[in-house]
Amino acid sequence: MGALSALEETLENRWEALWARVLDKEPVEVLDALRRECDDNAVVCRAGRVMVPNAYDVELADEVHEQLSRQGTDVGQALTDSLSRHAERKGYEFAGPLAVHVARCPDIPDGRYRVASRVMEHVSVDGFFHAAH
């Protein structure tokens, strides 16, 4: 394992530890749900080329969203980085610029979340946030 890979793995483990403290549960639940959403929607276009959605919505219960907001953590960026590394390891190509939007959702019971994805071609991150609202 190269030094860069070891550093990436260390950073990922620290991010998961932060989720564990904030969510009071295994952080891999949300991260795994995001990765699973990516994997479940992978499409083989031709030999060696696998496309995945590039726009992901993570809806968090009010309580969880509030905790993360108080800490000033850029959760969307951290999840984007994690998903980008996952896709790189799997050899996936995103259907356009990758964006993960994290939002508060009052319909979700405390401590829970919902993850969804879609393809949005040629959309900037700012454009994605406007389209999500």
pLDDT at 55: 94
Which one is predicted more confidently, 122 or 25? 122
Distances (CA, A) of 42 to 16, 71, 80: 24, 33, 17
pTM of structure: 0.71
124 with 97: CB under 8 angstroms?
Answer: yes
Query: Helices 62-71 and 3-23 sit at what angle, rounded to 10 degrees?
Result: 120
pLDDT at 27: 46
Examine the pLDDT at 43 and tell me if it is beyond 80. Answer: yes
Examine the pLDDT at 28 and tell me if it is beyond 60. Answer: no
In which band, very low, low, confident or very high, does the pLDDT at 15 lie, cut at 50, 70 and 90? Answer: low
Residue type, 97: P
Mean pLDDT computed over every residue of the chain: 78
Residue-range domains of the chain with CATH? 26-118 (3.30.2320.60)
What digits encode the pLDDT tens for the residues 53-96?
999 999 988 877 777 777 666 778 888 888 999 999 999 999 98
59 with 106: CB under 8 angstroms?
Answer: no
pLDDT at 72: 66
Q: Pick from 104, 40, 35, 41: which is nearest to 67 by CA? A: 104
